[in-house]
A = this chain, B = another copy of it.
């Protein structure tokens, strides 16, 4: 990623802000010419912007990047305040057999049961619960009111937002001759790899006999449901309220829109893109890196749009 800095010899930057709210010391982001004009009228001390701003001149600092949004995200992450609180709150219940690393924050009301471990630099938010045998790696951030069940392992730098339930019992029943439902064993684990980030109030089931796995760097939005035995690939992105049924696999770098529903034993291959509200049938395999699919059942976007247009045309014709 290329970026050049132009302006005064040294500039003190203390935070990031929107253009509308920026004060001296702030870094702001100007995505286009119009935003740049606004940014030049604000009090920010530095502007992250694109090549198009090359000619601009000013007494403040310019960061001119060929991918300015990424540059801004990276600089903002360096500037973001670090949680410096640490220690175990008096009202937390930490089992004597639990291993708590250095510089860990265990907030009030947290319950940590037997044989748990929480790695160096991690924090567990108020009133969250770690059942027995949960392993949390280093520098993880667990929000408030999170429930983590036995058999769950989080590697490093995992972020779990408030209200999530990790390692819940999956929805696997067997019907008997009278039509009653008996739970199939749900005793597999849940593995969440490095740098996974999970939005608020998500539910991720443990495996039934195998393991549910969320691979490195995958990002889940709020209220996402992940069923038992699912595997979500590295750097996959899954928007809010999407549901993934049992034993399905989402490939590396796949991008799944909001409210998508994926049936059981389906496979979304590497880099496939599913538009919002799409539906994927049980057992279906969808492939195509960079291919956009939409609708229920999900089909190539171009085909789907043509179908919508055809239907609209026939419907209007039918009226005449």
Q: Name A residues whose Cβ lies closer than 8 Å to a Cβ of B.
A: 1, 16-21, 29, 67, 69-70, 72-74, 76-77, 80, 89, 91, 93, 107-109, 111, 125-127, 129, 131, 143-147, 149, 159, 161-163, 165, 168-169, 171, 173-177, 179-185, 187-188, 197, 199-201, 203, 205, 209-210, 217, 219, 221-223, 225, 227, 235, 237, 239-241, 243, 245, 252-253, 258-259, 261, 263, 276-277, 279, 296-297, 303, 306-315, 318-319
Q: Which residues of B contact A72 (CB under 8 A)?
A: 184-185
Q: Does the CB pair B185–A235 fall under 8 Å?
A: no
Q: Which residue of B lies closest to A113 (CB)?
A: B126
CA distance A313 to B315 in the complex (A): 10
Q: Which residues of B contact A223 (CB under 8 A)?
A: 201, 203, 223, 225, 243
Q: Does the CB pair B185–A76 fall under 8 Å?
A: yes
Least Cβ–Cβ distance between A194 and chain B, in angstroms: 11
CA distance A289 to B152 in the complex (A): 40
Q: Does the CB pair B176–A70 fall under 8 Å?
A: yes
What is the interface of chain A mostly: helix, strand, loop, or mixed? loop
Name the residue in A125, A127, A200 with the highest tally of chain B Cβ atoms < 10 Å from its Cβ.
A200
Name the residue in A145, A182, A296, A310 with the highest tally of chain B Cβ atoms < 10 Å from its Cβ.
A145
Q: Which residues of B contact A20 (CB under 8 A)?
A: 210
Copies, count: 3
Q: Does the CB pair A126–B111 fall under 8 Å?
A: yes
Least Cβ–Cβ distance between A180 and chain B, in angstroms: 6
Q: Does the CB pair B129–A149 fall under 8 Å?
A: no
Q: Which residues of B contact A209 (CB under 8 A)?
A: 16-19, 21, 29
Q: Does the CB pair A258–B245 fall under 8 Å?
A: yes
Question: Of B17, B203, B210, B318, which is within 8 A of A18 by CB?
Answer: B210
Q: Does the CB pair B184–A76 fall under 8 Å?
A: yes
Q: A209-B16, A277-B261, A306-B319 are in contact. Are A162 and B180 (CB under 8 A)?
A: no
Question: Of B169, B199, B201, which is within 8 A of A201 by CB?
Answer: B201
Name the residue in A129, A174, A222, A253 with the highest tally of chain B Cβ atoms < 10 Å from its Cβ.
A222
Q: Does the CB pair B161–A163 fall under 8 Å?
A: no
Question: Of B73, B144, B171, B258, which is within 8 A of A221 by CB?
Answer: B171
CA distance A307 to B296 in the complex (A): 13
Q: Which residues of B contact A197 (CB under 8 A)?
A: 183
Q: Which residues of B contact A210 (CB under 8 A)?
A: 18, 20
